[in-house]
Structure 1
Amino acid sequence: MRTRLRSAPSSALLAAALAFVAVLLAAALPRALDRGADQALRSFLDDRGPAATSLLATSTSRYGNESPENLDSVRDALLARTGDAFAVAPAGTVQGTQAAKPRSLANPELPRPDGVPPGLDLLYLRDAAAHTALVEGRWPSGGAPDGPVPVAISQQAAQTLGVRIGTVLQTVPSSSDPMSAEVVGLYRATDEADVFWTGLPCLTRACASNTSTVPPQRYWKTAALVGPDGLDRLGPWGAGAEDFWRIPVDTDRLRADRLPVVAREIAAYVGGPTASALRGTTQRSDLRIASQLPELFKQAEARQQAVAPLAAIGPAGVAGVAAVVLCLAAALTGDRRESELRLLLARGGSPGGIVGRLLGEGAVTVLPAAALATALALWLLPAPRSAAALLAAGAVALLAWLAFPVRAAVLLSARRRGPAPRRRLVAELLVAAATAAAVFEVRQRGVAPAGEGLDPLLVAAPLLLALCGGLALARLQPVLVGMLARAAGRSSALVGFLGLARAARGTGGRARPPVLPLIALLLAVTTGGFGATVLDAVDSGRLRVARLAVGGDVQIAAPYGGALPPAMTEAAAALPGVRTSAGVWTDDKAFVFGTVQGSTQVTVVVAEPKAYAELARTIGRGQFDPALLSAGPSADAPVPALFSSDLAKLAAAGTYRLSLGGGELQIGSVGVVEGTPARPGPGGAVVVLPAGPTTARLPRTGRPDRWLATGQVDGDRLREAVRAAAPAGTAGQYTVRTSAGTAAELGSDPLQRSAVRLFWASVAAVAGFALLAVLLTLVRAAPERAALLARLRTMGLRPRDGIRLILTEALPQALAATVGGALVAVSAVALLGPAMDLSALVGSNVPTGLRLTAPPVLTQALGLALLVTLAVIAEAAISGRRQITTELRAGDQR
């Protein structure tokens, strides 16, 4: 064995390198998937905010028996039940007591925006001093039982309300006992963005709020802190008080693979056995624990399961091509060493002994490389889980180690029963049957329903189609190339005929061209083309959703109740790239009288018919014939109107009374539209009116509050134009949205980005393995081909003709595989596309189905064809330079 390895060090090094790369990818893939899933989970939860990712425990305050120590004891009992599946965030718990209701303040000097007195809420907050800085006065303590409650208020709230140290805040007389609060201290939050203040009512500044009346009225509200001595005063202030403990869960320690376990623990904590045990431990039978985490966990798990089948297509293609390449390398090595193995067998070696020696060779070359690759993958991609990576690395290492000894055992075995063509035909029929069954099942039931995780059929179906196409192409290629060779034989040129003839019958004494390189190339093109089509559909789906949400490619919106200055819309319409634009006036609170319901609230859109119709046609929502609204009605005739389908179900064709904020109109239904670009979201009752007659009767509608446009408009230049045209001090009131920015927001999800990165990395790996398969085939045939060229050179063949001969022989297989792979990718999209649900990758609900587009498939096919062609040309140039004297040696059997 040592002698053999020394005699062929290059072969040993190549085998080790191939095993190293394959095992490295196999070990890295599960780690990359785990890291991407964990990052996506944490980002998803962090985006929901600390309030949503916390456990909130509440209990009715115990009047006369309330103390900070009692709150601490309950907190300790709550924390004692954490730590197994989830842990508390470093920010720690937030606890305290809050009055059940705020009280209105009667001081006449306090500001009243709409005549409504400000409201004041009282809280006791444990450890508030650690998150604030005392600006003036002192922290509240003491106070007579029948006197004002000492409180501390934030400095910003005091400035807003005009309050200072010593101010006594009187409450509005009500049925409850009159109370007052004395401001004894002013504080400032050291960091208003600190999670400590999350979910607490206006403790860092005064908040503007609206009453629930119609119309709503504005008023100020804020909250003040009491000391431990004021705990018993919170109940009388708010007609009751409530203790609370907010326990933030450490999302940075959550793992996607343990999400079901954590979800069960949280569910038990919220409303299961843990919650029951805590009520007994704390002796608070009314202890309630709530959290949004169970619902968020369900959403996160559903997102992962929805993306998993789409994200697994690329890695599955890598696995398939890598397995083909390892088998191809074993087959080529077996063909190269077949005479050596049979000589050993003839000299007395047993088949078992020879295979054992080959296992030893593989153990020396493959296993150390596999171990090094596994260690490198674990080091480069740190993750808490290693079992999947070790299992994948072990499987690939085992295949790389055993492939050649198994091939040798087959070569050394006794003659197998049954002719080879029959066995091949049976195997091909089995593959075709499995492919048909997989495609039929996916088409019948669609992708696995949400909650079932990875769909193996959806992942395996493209690979089975590629395998089936490769087997079919392997049978068709010799026939087609043979026909070309016979056609070339009728001409006087020798190089074309000889190259095509060798391509048709195979090289190296084979009866036909090898099948494995074809399968590798078809798998590469099919995987790349199918996956690229999916991602192209995702991009176009995001853009379509973004355009519907924006109402075009760009939108400028005025503040509620305002209008866009004419100079602003003119400057925006003059920007480069604007194709279609329309200014519209909208009202969401209009009513149509005379419907089946009596009156129906609608959204009114007033626009110039032709421009608005062109915009709706471009966006693909709310299309209509502008002639329906272009006919000018007489002065006393109803204004023509288009009703949305939702409104048309409640109002047949006829005349109706429309009540707007600025007056009333008589309108007549002249058609039905499906929604409007001016308002996102499906459904809703909409009325579209022409600008001319509507403005003549209601001049207010002539000033649009939205400007919509399509085209390649630069968002930065649009915002600059809006700022320049806006009245002084009002630029921030106008909202600018672009479809490109909205689409980027939809695609900013780490789960989607991880799936896209994984796919393109898989495409690169697949292309590399497919190129390696071609190179292995070329290198295997290189000695025999070089000898042929040398002999032809002695008969007058020119060097450039030798290169042409090599290209003519090698390129038909590569080009046939490229064309076949493109056709198989197109077939995969056509057969499996209707079952694809891309909503998880798009970031919004989109119709199920995958539309076939040529550019993604052609890009992948032509890119791989170019790589293979360059590899063939390079190998041809190297082979063409071989010396004749080196090749023409007597008895050369390489």
Structure 2
Amino acid sequence: MRRSVRTRVLAPWSRTRVLAPWVRTRLGTAPGAACALALLVVLTACLAAALPRAVDRYEDAGLRHAVERARPDSTSVSVYAAQPDPLMSQGMREDALRPDLLGAQYRKVLAAVPRPLVADPDQSTYGVRTHSPMEVPDAFIPRPNGLPAQVALAAQHDLAGHVRSVTGRLPRASEPVTAATAEVEAAVTAETAKSMHIKVGSVIHVPGVERGPLAVHITGIVTPRDPNGAYWAAQPLLHTPTLVLLPGAGAEGDRYWLGGLLLAPEAAPAMLGTPGNPWRYWQLAPAPGDLHAYELGRLKSAIASLEGGPALRAMRTRTDPSTDVSTDLDDVLGTYTDLRSGIRPLVAVAAVGTGTVAAVVLLMAGGLAADRRRSELLLLRARGGSLRGVTGRLLAETSIVSLPAGALGLTAALLALPGGRLSYAVAAAATVTAVACTALPLRAAAVHRVVRIHGAREDVASVRPSRRRTVAELTLLVVTLGAVETLRRNGTSGDELASLAPVLVGVAAALVLVRLYPLPLRGLARPAARLRGAVGHLSLARAGRTSASAVLPLLALLTALTTAAFGGSVLSGVSEARDQAALLTVGADARVEGTTALPSSLPDRVRGLHGVRGVAAVSIAYQAKPNEGRQSVPLVGVDPRDYAELTSRTGLGAFGAGELRVPAGADAGSGTGTGTGTGSGSGALPAVASPQVASTYGTRPFPVRLEDGTTVTVRITLVRDRTPAVTGADFLLVDRAGLSADAARPSTLLLTGDHLDGAALRRMAGNAGVLLRSEERAQYVDSPLQSGAERVYTAAVAAGAGYAVLALLLSLVRAAPERRALLARLRTMGLTRAQGRRLLVLESLPQAVLAAAGGALTGWAAIRLLSPGIDLTTIALASAQVPVGAAELHTDAVSLTVPALAIIAVTVGVAGVQAWWTGRRGSVAELRVGDGR
């Protein structure tokens, strides 16, 4: 009996003993470590599960925004059929247009729409409409050029449910309507009534076929409840009339009014007696709330099936053999796909980087736990514990902590981010939990495969890399080079390997630095030994013999710093691209531009506004004709001093004021019709020109005829790529003093300053247009896809930086007991508290400085290597048409230096606090604690 009890005490790994008591005992002896692991798993699982849901949310929002922003006549799916076959009986043709049959077919059409396309029942409808407009002879309808107005008849379902107010009453049919019916009732919208002078009680006579005209009595004027909704906007003519230009006429050609008359649905058969060629239609508006970006491929397939596939055949079976389907929704989806394709790879770079750092930290936590319990595990193996038994109990120990923590993190992510796919979030959280559960057992199994009596030294000075490690590192280096080359050649649209490029660069740099780390420290330790005092030599010697497990902290730090530098540079590049695009569009911080000359007092009044730093008044002649030719070039008259200051502040084509100023006594713009100035003895005004204009007209003087009929002679003396006053590629800049009085009157003001008041500026400008750079910049973020991707990118970079600090703290905490014991021993030999602080700080600095310098250098190298393949134009500007080239990736000094300096600051701070805390405790107590461990 005693032997049985003894066996159970000495062999806790025995198969006859249940796992729970041993695991509970271990967790009870180290509750702090268990709580720390649980907190790490909760945080990591929450972030991992939140990432795919956040991506789904902003991609879905971007898709819905794209569909809602497009015109309903582009996004609606129009199912239509020609008028019933003339060979059919008249009764059957009339029945085919009645609302009962159309309603039954409408329900069948809805059922035949292939998923994931879902119709919005509130905005979808059906009815009958004349395909060909018809002239009406009624004289009360305006005739701008003497041409009679034309109308289209429509009998659309549920008119009462889509109007806000009715003047009069809605149309109705008191008796069955046929093709021979002489009179019907109709309603018109308020816009149609206003433009075409229609009132309640008006009668419009629509021509008939083999019968007299159809008299349409207007019984009501309606106001649409949602004029921008698909019910009305899919067929804009139903609520808004239009002036139609005759085909082949010029801009000032003959026009006539075209409007829509809304019949009661029961009156649709009356259209058969008109030449309007009535068509049946079933109008399907997509429900934005049911659109999901992850179903985009299936959505495109559904649309293709509707336009010419199995779904179209089903539609024809349920309605009419002549039924056809038309929609531009696929074009809208294609535009969204292009935008998403340009943004997704950049987000993938940040996600992969942060995920790598998080995985390294989880592995590092398991590895540090295995190192902390090395003596315990050595003893268990030496006393007969099987590798399988020890590993199984360690797995049970970590699983009991990690599984509930992973479930809690997943729940938090699901509650914080409703919507999105559940499967991806569960898979991400499960992966994190699995890594947390297996990191400690696998590390222990790798270290304790062989039973040892004691642990050998494992520091970078004694442990030599194995051949397998060398092969793995060389393989990783080759993969890194391949990823970098792929990204440089194909950009982020290449493949998944391109998204790994920044991370692989950081990992490769970490492995190289780990191999090179001890060499400079050993070299410095020898001369430090000859210095007075042992602190410097001792700190360098200990730093040079740091644990071989430092590869994981260094890997985490370099990967995080590289990702932070790359991500910060991406965000900075996006902001710079938007600033530059807004500047090129506006030309300054604000622009006031009138169609005619501005009031002469406006520049002085604008200068007095709060925040205005400079005002440049310019006159722009957009139709100036050089050499009396047909091609026009914008000629800008400026005040050289004010405009030179503007170009200097904006950086757009800067030049000196003296290079453009009209020489004293010159009279190039006397207003007599020709320039007679004496500029440089040639009578020409000095001019700044764009490269294209300079190459066309050269440097010899040439005349330019202005819009007011005067002519000036100019000579190009400077060439600049851009200028603030105009956005095009062609321009000429001259001194306003050389122009005639009319031509020199300012038509545009360019303002520079901070926090300009747009409202005050618009009140002062009157009828002139005002454009602010800040407002223009805000328009470039025109899709939730952009803003959502930026938020995810920022969060990923911040999380990576946080994990880097956590990795650093874990490594410092792991070494804390040994350092405390060392300080206690050294204090018994006379080491002062100040020397102890210096020792810990100097011992920690080499690895921190190495990580900081290596991270900054690696981040800089990654950006320089990968920038040719990174184009930020899509995420920065989306579909905005601005005169700016591709937004390239550039290094950002803040992103490179701030994280690196933070690493050094945290290291020094932790070492100082550790030395201060150790100094508060007695040496004997500290040695006892250290020896006990």
The answer for the alignment partner of 2:72 in structure 1 is: 50
Query: How big is the shift at 1:187?
Result: 2.9
1:134-533 matches, cutoff 5 A = 134-136=166-168, 139=171, 141=173, 150-155=185-190, 157-158=192-193, 162-168=197-203, 182-201=217-236, 203-204=238-239, 213-215=250-252, 222-228=259-265, 231=268, 240-285=277-322, 287-414=323-450, 420-423=464-467, 424-443=469-488, 445-449=489-493, 455-506=495-546, 510=547, 514-533=550-569
What amino acid is aligned across from residue 820 of structure 2 in structure 1? Answer: A
How far apart, in 2, do the equivalents of 1:609 and 1:171 lie? 67
Change (3 A) 1:17 1:201: closer
How far apart, in 2, do the equivalents of 1:91 and 1:703 lie? 56
Please, which of 49, 68, 86 is the counterpart of residue 27 of structure 1? 49
How far apart, in 2, do the equivalents of 1:588 and 1:149 lie? 55
The answer for the alignment partner of 1:810 in structure 2 is: 844
Change (3 A) 1:669 1:181: farther
Change (3 A) 1:344 1:137: closer
Please, which of 119, 127, 130 is the counterpart of residue 88 of structure 1? 119
Change (3 A) 1:183 1:661: farther
The answer for the alignment partner of 2:12 in structure 1 is: none
Change (3 A) 1:673 1:71: farther
**Contact kept? 1:98, 1:241, Cα under 8 Å:** yes
How far apart, in 2, do the equivalents of 1:586 and 1:83 lie? 56
**Contact kept? 2:701, 2:716, Cα under 8 Å:** no
Superposed CA offset, 1:49-93 (max 9, x none): 433321123444458635332543543343222252211114231
The answer for the alignment partner of 1:68 in structure 2 is: 98
For structure 2, list consecutive stretches of 5 or more residues without a partner in the other structure.
1-21, 453-461, 676-683, 879-883
Query: How big is the shift at 1:544?
Result: 0.8
What amino acid is aligned across from residue 34 of structure 1 in structure 2? Answer: D
How far apart, in 2, do the equivalents of 1:687 and 1:837 lie? 32
How far apart, in 1, do the equivalents of 2:702 and 2:204 lie? 54
How far apart, in 2, do the equivalents of 1:787 and 1:489 lie? 23
The answer for the alignment partner of 2:914 in structure 1 is: 875
Change (3 A) 1:419 1:190: closer
Question: Which secondary structure state, in structure 2, belongs to the residue aligned with residue 892 of structure 1?
Answer: helix
Query: How big is the shift at 1:256?
Result: 1.3
How far apart, in 2, do the equivalents of 1:214 and 1:482 lie? 85
What amino acid is aligned across from residue 794 of structure 1 in structure 2? Answer: T
**1:778 corresponds to 2:812:** yes
The answer for the alignment partner of 1:712 in structure 2 is: 754
TM (normalized to structure 1)? 0.86
**Contact kept? 2:535, 2:839, Cα under 8 Å:** yes
What amino acid is aligned across from residue 802 of structure 1 in structure 2? Answer: G
How far apart, in 1, do the equivalents of 2:620 and 2:483 lie? 51
Query: How big is the shift at 1:886?
Result: 1.8
Change (3 A) 1:29 1:564: same
Query: How big is the shift at 1:738?
Result: 1.6
Query: How big is the shift at 1:486?
Result: 4.2
**Contact kept? 1:552, 1:677, Cα under 8 Å:** yes
Query: How big is the shift at 1:265?
Result: 0.3
Change (3 A) 1:184 1:777: closer
What amino acid is aligned across from residue 253 of structure 1 in structure 2? Answer: D
1:116-135 matches, cutoff 5 A = 120-132=151-163, 133-135=165-167
**1:836 corresponds to 2:870:** yes
**Contact kept? 1:778, 1:875, Cα under 8 Å:** no
Change (3 A) 1:344 1:79: same
**Contact kept? 2:138, 2:204, Cα under 8 Å:** yes
Change (3 A) 1:359 1:187: closer
**Contact kept? 1:603, 1:686, Cα under 8 Å:** yes
How far apart, in 1, do the equivalents of 2:296 and 2:651 lie? 41
**Contact kept? 2:49, 2:429, Cα under 8 Å:** yes
Question: Which secondary structure state, in structure 2, belongs to the residue aligned with residue 797 of structure 1?
Answer: coil
1:438-837 matches, cutoff 5 A = 438-443=483-488, 445-449=489-493, 455-506=495-546, 510=547, 514-558=550-594, 561-578=595-612, 581-586=615-620, 599-600=630-631, 605=636, 607-608=638-639, 611-612=642-643, 615=646, 627=659, 630=662, 632-633=667-668, 637=674, 663=709, 665=711, 670=716, 674=721, 677-680=724-727, 691-696=736-741, 699=742, 701-714=743-756, 717-726=757-766, 733-837=767-871
How far apart, in 2, do the equivalents of 1:167 and 1:704 lie? 53
Superposed CA offset, 1:264-285 (max 9, x none): 0012112333224423542242
What amino acid is aligned across from residue 259 of structure 1 in structure 2? Answer: L
Aligned residues: 863
Query: How big is the shift at 1:812?
Result: 2.6
Query: How big is the shift at 1:23?
Result: 2.6
How far apart, in 1, do the equivalents of 2:596 and 2:693 lie? 27
**Contact kept? 1:548, 1:619, Cα under 8 Å:** no
TM (normalized to structure 2)? 0.82
Query: How big is the shift at 1:542?
Result: 0.8
How far apart, in 2, do the equivalents of 1:191 and 1:516 lie? 60
What amino acid is aligned across from residue 782 of structure 1 in structure 2? Answer: A
The answer for the alignment partner of 1:730 in structure 2 is: none
Query: How big is the shift at 1:261?
Result: 0.4
More moved, 323-332 vs 844-853: 844-853
What amino acid is aligned across from residue 302 of structure 2 in structure 1? Answer: E
* Percentage of pairs with the same residue: 33
**Contact kept? 1:481, 1:500, Cα under 8 Å:** yes
Query: How big is the shift at 1:816?
Result: 2.1
**Contact kept? 2:74, 2:234, Cα under 8 Å:** no
Question: Which secondary structure state, in structure 1, belongs to the residue aligned with residue 779 of structure 2?
Answer: helix
Superposed CA offset, 1:796-816 (max 9, x none): 333343233222222332222
How far apart, in 2, do the equivalents of 1:499 and 1:290 lie? 77
**Contact kept? 2:312, 2:325, Cα under 8 Å:** yes
**1:860 corresponds to 2:890:** no
Question: Which secondary structure state, in structure 1, belongs to the residue aligned with residue 517 of structure 2?
Answer: helix
More moved, 532-541 vs 60-69: 60-69
Query: How big is the shift at 1:208?
Result: 7.3
What amino acid is aligned across from residue 298 of structure 2 in structure 1? Answer: V
**Contact kept? 1:568, 1:722, Cα under 8 Å:** no
How far apart, in 1, do the equivalents of 2:638 and 2:147 lie? 39
More moved, 826-835 vs 844-853: 844-853
Query: How big is the shift at 1:241?
Result: 4.4
What amino acid is aligned across from residue 166 of structure 2 in structure 1? Answer: L
Question: Which secondary structure state, in structure 2, belongs to the residue aligned with residue 80 of structure 1?
Answer: helix
Change (3 A) 1:110 1:591: farther
Question: Which secondary structure state, in structure 1, belongs to the residue aligned with residue 55 of structure 2?
Answer: helix
How far apart, in 2, do the equivalents of 1:688 and 1:71 lie? 66
